[in-house]
Structure 1
Amino acid sequence: MEGNSSLTNAINEAGFTQAELADVLNSHLRARGHDGTVTDRTVRYWLTGKTRWPHPRQRQALEGVFGCPIESLGFQPPRREPESPVRRRNFLTATTGTAAAVIVDARPQRVGTSDVIRLRAGIDTLMALDDTKGGHEGLERAAVAGAEDALAKLRLASSQRIRLRLFGLAADYTATAAWSALDARKLDRTQEHLNRALYLAGMAKDPSVELRVWNYHAMLAHQRGQHTQAVDAGYAAQATPITRRDPLYASLAHARTALGHSNLGDRQAALRSLGHAQEALAKATDEPRPSWLAFYGPAELTAISAIVRDRIGDPAQAEADSHKALTSIPAQFRRNRALATARLALAQLHQGDIDQACATASQVFDLMAGDPLPGRMRSLLGDYYRDLISLAPDAGVAQEWGDRFRSEWSRS
């Protein structure tokens, strides 16, 4: 039985295992109100060629994940189904009155709303993967491919409205690539993606993606130690039009600005921005929003508050906020839960509770078991370890934690 080399190549390129692909496809299906029907055995049947034409919903999920037609993944419909979506016309000859030929209408199909929906589903799937696994090269490559797919469809757009939506999707995919690179601490690639995403967001006239890009600019500036630029990016996010229409976006922009102020040691400004974030969040209503924003709400703002409090010298309040955040961060946001746990360990360490801090920090490895630690998380744990050996270089528990840290680091 001939295997499906096209699907094999696509899976390898994206960096999925069979089980991971099944999980991502099931997340895609459940997000659309369907049961998650894909198992690693299902994927194995596809790869070996035992199943040559998946069920319709599975086909749609595969197209959404990989951002390409199902035929490009090596699947072919059975003979009883149409081999392609092109229209065919039967012409009768004038002389015999019988069917003389079947002529294929080779005109390219126009791109419309259904194509936009399919591309949007791909972004949702990538964000679901990010929530669990964190940023990695496979996700980044898939996002770049999605942006290229959206841009390639521009010339076939059925209307100017569809063109704008395609530009917006390309911007969103590119911002997703930037986020994945940022979480993996590939800072130069992050900058390149963000520059591209901001241009595409402008072409799309999409203030939601524009705010998303400025939010990542602020985070990138922090990772580079450019804290004044991080504050400036936070203010740029606040100035986007979407913040005047939707207080949830405004809250995120103020929260990001609060983090920038805290890194500069400006206690008053940090607390003021944090207060604005809380006030805006209290006004936010429950309405449909892009999947990239699903992480943000009361739990995430409380986690951000914990970071701000620790950086301005309030570790006890930071610990309390971290505990509160961890009681309400949804389970599917595994990477965010691990980050909040690391922040809790830092707050405990900064109060001198070495044993408890090391026990808490070890939970990060348990939460992320089975996947490499994203670069941003590795960096945060590196900060924890530096503080730990500075405060308690000779403590046995510190040495034990250091041994595990080096062991987990080598596996990542």
Structure 2
Amino acid sequence: MASSMVTPSQSPMPPRPNLALRRLRGQRSPAEFAAAVRRSAREIGERVSCDARYVGRVEAGEIRCPNYAYERVFLHMFPGRTLADLGFAPRASVRGRRTRTTADETQGTHDPYDTQDTHDPDETYDDYEESDVLRRAFMTGGGATVAAASLGPFGLATDAAAATPAATGAGRPLRRAGASQAGALEEAVRRIRLLDDRHGADGLYRRAAAPLRAAYALLDAGATRQTTVDRLHAGAGELAISVGWLAHDSGRFDDARSHYAEALATARVTDDDALEAHAFCNTAFLARDAGRPREAVRSAQAAQRVARPLGSARLMSLLALREAGGWAGLADRTGCEQALVRAQVLFERGTCDADPEWMSFYGEAELEGLEAQCWSALGDWRRAARHAHRAAELQDPHFTRNIALYTAELADDLARGGHPDEASAAGLRVLELLGEVQSSRIQTMLAGTARVLLPHRRASGVSAFLERHASTPRTA
């Protein structure tokens, strides 16, 4: 591997102003344009901390190419335009630049991908090529396959041992992590979520263990600035939850429980209420699916206690649904209905800036889908099917996995409710999606539906579903 050291230019070119984006800003002030960027980000499920200073840095040419999150937002804001049309340099042309300002570099030459407002001259950063290895983690290679790019610190092997001083060379101390590594870790979490939304967990989980080890190795490496340390802890915790969800959705419940516990411990160490609420939220969901409904209720209630001061009604709505799922598992219809009413009331309060980034999946479709699961657990198949049908209709096409999940729920509810032909039609729609979606959870649901439909196998529609289901390979 080539050395990570990049010799700075002896006479660097001054930043070139981005006149294209300045023209597109028009009469809006930098603050007004920044607000428009944040609104556009929310429209596509991104969260960016854009402010007037960031806009100023872009227009001054200090940020020659935006990070991937900002790229998606800008291209959404200005459809039909490329990064070049927006005044940015090609991504390849800015690789290899150092984020640290050295004595030989002029002031104002910043990491072209950095979105932070300040740079600590005492903090050690590695060059962009190293962080790009992190940023390319979990990039798709077609279908549900995932590139093998590692999230390992400093571009070394993904094994956790690679982050030890011994692995960096005899007598060489482990280099400290910087803002670029923290940003890369955050980007990897977003990548996992986006890929899971489209393809499900089974094709991702096996790739996720090494990046998670590397994320915690970054914590062990430490950082000079406390803000970077906090970001690393939050990023590692969110990555643990994401990997836990991949284990959960692929049927590895013990692994999922371990990852969620790791995230919870990370949250407790740093007094991160948002991370703790997220960890409890997923723990409640896992407990419900694993047949521990009382634990699901307790975990959801703990999450609500932690999350209440955070100011997100949508988060509290989701946590009420997690509690409702636990009550349904306990066959407590009253407790479930009360939690469902709270979830609806809170949901109707709308979104706000306090909503966590990871909740981009939670819209009306997910609300309907989770309610369907509650009524299904209570044996009210007609009501469950109605909500599952609405969930599938309302879901954004981006969330392919969720469309398959809601349709599988619909098929099962229809089958158990005595509508075999409609159930088979819904089941066939799910099978069409399984070429793109790999989720053991969905496959298990379909297998249950097939068993329920076996007594009706002579019906033409049911026969077609059962034959197609029997010939569909299961994910290992």
TM norm structure 2 = 0.63
2:335 aligned with 1:294: no
Which of 65, 82, 99 is 2:136 aligned to?
65
Cα 1:229–1:287, aligned 2, differ >3 Å: closer, same or farther? Answer: same
**CA RMSD of the aligned region, Å?**
3.2
Write the deviation string for residues 299-318 of structure 1: whole angstroms up to 9, x where unpaired. 21111112222332433332
Partners of 2:179 and 2:228 within 8 A in 1: yes
Does residue 250 in structure 1 map to residue 320 in structure 2? no
Distance change (3 Å), C-alpha of 1:140 and 1:31: farther
Helix, strand or coil: the match of 1:240? helix
Partner of 1:185: 251
Residue 275 of structure 1: aligned partner: 341
The answer on 1:407 being equivalent to 2:471 is: yes
Q: Which runs of 5+ in 2 are unaligned?
A: 3-66, 77-91, 96-112, 114-127, 138-149, 158-171
Residue 218 of structure 1 is matched in structure 2 by 284
> Which ranges of structure 1 fall in alignment gaps of 5 or more residues?
5-25, 36-52, 75-105
The change in CA–CA distance for 1:107 and 1:344 in structure 2 (over 3 A counts) is closer
Q: 2: distance between equivalents of 1:411 and 1:277? A: 34
Contact 1:110 1:156 in 2 (8 A): yes
- Partners of 2:174 and 2:132 in 1: CA distance: 24
The 5 A counterparts of 1:213-362 are 213-242=279-308, 244-287=310-353, 289-362=355-428
Whether contact under 8 Å (2:134, 2:181) holds in the other structure is no
The structure-2 alpha-carbon separation of the partners of 1:166 and 1:352, relative to structure 1 and needing over 3 Å to count, comes to: same
1:291 and 1:245 map into 2 onto residues whose CA distance is: 14
Matches within 5 A, 1:362-401: 362-371=428-437, 373-389=438-454, 392=456, 394-401=458-465
Inter-CA distance 150–192: structure 2 relative to 1 (3 Å threshold) = closer
Q: Distance in 1 between matches of 2:426 and 2:443?
A: 15
Deviations 1:2-39 (A, max 9, x none): xx9xxxxxxxxxxxxxxxxxxxxx9867535359xxxx
Q: Name the amino acid aligned to 1:123.
A: V
- Residues 54 and 266 of structure 1: CA distance in aligned 2, closer, same or farther (over 3 Å): farther
Match of 1:161 among 197, 211, 227: 227
Q: Alignment identity in percent?
A: 25
In the alignment, the residues of structure 2 paired with residue 329 and residue 208 of structure 1 have an alpha-carbon distance, to the nearest angstrom, of 26
Cα 1:126/1:324, change in 2 over 3 Å: same
Q: Distance in 2 between matches of 1:69 and 1:351?
A: 50
Q: Which residue of 2 aligns with 1:199?
A: 265
Change (3 A) 1:156 1:188: closer
Letter in 2 for 1:209: L
TM-score (norm 1): 0.72
Change over 3 Å in CA distance of 1:137–1:189 after alignment to 2: farther
Shift of 1:251: 0.7
AA partner of residue 347 (structure 2): L
Query: Greater share of helix residues, 1 or 2?
Result: 1
1:126-147, Cα deviation, whole Å (9 max, x unpaired): 1111111111364453365145
Amino acid at match of 1:362: L
The 1:288–1:115 alpha-carbon spacing in structure 2 relative to 1, beyond 3 Å, is: farther
Do the aligned partners of residues 30 and 380 (structure 1) sit closer, same or farther apart at CA in structure 2, a change above 3 Å counting? Answer: farther
Structure 2 counterpart of 1:64, which letter?
R
Matches within 5 A, 1:38-53: none
Q: Does structure 2 conserve the Cα–Cα contact (< 8 Å) formed by 1:262 and 1:311?
A: yes
Post-superposition shift, 1:234? 1.7
- Cα pair distance change 1:124/1:288, threshold 3 Å: farther
Q: After superposition, give the CA deviation of every residue in 1:53-106 in whole Å (9 maximum; x if it has no partner).
A: 6775897765313254898499xxxxxxxxxxxxxxxxxxxxxxxxxxxxxxx9
State which drifts further: 181-190 or 59-68: 59-68
Q: Please give the alpha-carbon distance, in whole angstroms, between the structure 1 residues aligned to 2:292 and 2:446.
A: 20
CA contact (8 A) 2:300 2:320 kept: yes
1:134 is aligned, of 176, 194, 200, to 200
Distance in 2 between the 1:237 and 1:298 partners?
Answer: 21
2:303 and 2:319 in contact (8 A); partners too? yes
Any idea what SS the aligned residue of 2:285 has? helix
* Alignment of 1:113 onto 2:179: yes
1:355-391 deviation digits (Å, cap 9, x = unpaired): 11101111011123245x31111111122122223x6
Tell me what 2:62 maps to.
Answer: none
